[in-house]
Chain A
Amino acid sequence: KAGVTQTPRYLIKTRGQQVTLSCSPISGHRSVSWYQQTPGQGLQFLFEYFSETQRNKGNFPGRFSGRQFSNSRSEMNVSTLELGDSALYLCASSLGELRSGEKLFFGSGTQLSVL
């Protein structure tokens, strides 16, 4: 069974641009959650999607948004990029929602650099 796939692996953007990251969950998994990892802040929850609906959202500005498609694939969008958005963005999938306490399967992440 294929794991969680994130594309692209690396991205370089400039301030003010927008970016879209993609995540394909493990087949059969309906929950996709997104995380931002930085050396200073550690791993922070962005949002969770389950059955095409946003279930939970972390404490991030509205520039960060996402969506989930009927095949459970998810995209995350960041608009008006800032230098501080440089980070490793991880997505994770699970069979059930986060609140069910199931274990997460993580992708290898997208490393975003904002210049």
Chain B
Amino acid sequence: AQSVAQPEDQVNVAEGNPLTVKCTYSVSGNPYLFWYVQYPNRGLQFLLKYITGDNLVKGSYGFEAEFNKSQTSFHLKKPSALVSDSALYFCAVRDNRNSGYSTLTFGKGTMLLVSP
């Protein structure tokens, strides 16, 4: 069974500093990996995804993530955090065996708090 771990419930960073939100995964076969962000009282918004190709994926709002197959990780990064980045971040994975019974598995989420 596939699984996703986000080891930090909360990440605190000062505005202007780089940020990292960690994600590790377990899946059979090669993974499809995603990051979504949830602002208060709203649904999730897509940030970026890795399907294949370049291990460094660039997404919305200046975020990027690096796929590391040997470490089974897909950490989310941003060079310079903004207060407006404060939100709940979810990592998600599904395997790409093209099975009709594949599901999408989310991590429990990491709250990012950016202080002014």
Residues of A bordering B, CB below 8 Å: 4, 33, 35, 41-45, 48, 55-58, 90, 92, 98-99, 101, 103-109
Contacts and interface: CB of A to CB of B under 8 A. Distances in A.
Contacts of A45: 103-106
B49 A43 contact: no
A34 to B, nearest CB: 11
Interface residues of B, number: 26
Q: Taking each of B44, B51, B99, B105, which has the highest tally of chain A beta carbons within 10 Å of its own beta carbon?
A: B44
24 contacts: A42-B90, A42-B106, A42-B107, A42-B108, A43-B106, A43-B108, A45-B105, A45-B106, A48-B103, A57-B101, A58-B103, A98-B94, A98-B102, A99-B94, A99-B102, A101-B94, A103-B46, A103-B49, A104-B36, A104-B44, A104-B104, A106-B36, A106-B43, A108-B43
Interface of B: 32, 34, 36, 41-46, 49, 51, 90, 94, 96, 98-109
Contacts of B43: 4, 90, 92, 106-109
A102 to B, nearest CB: 9
B51 A101 contact: yes
**Chain A residues touching B, majority SS:** strand
A58 B102 CA distance: 9
Contacts of B51: 101
Contact of B101 (A4, A56, A104): A56
**Chain B residues touching A, majority SS:** loop
Given A48-B103, A56-B102, 16 more contacts: A4-B43, A42-B106, A43-B44, A43-B109, A45-B105, A45-B106, A56-B100, A92-B44, A98-B103, A98-B104, A99-B99, A103-B46, A104-B36, A104-B44, A106-B45, A109-B43
Nearest to A59: B103
A99 B36 CA distance: 17
A43 B41 contact: no
A92 B90 CA distance: 15
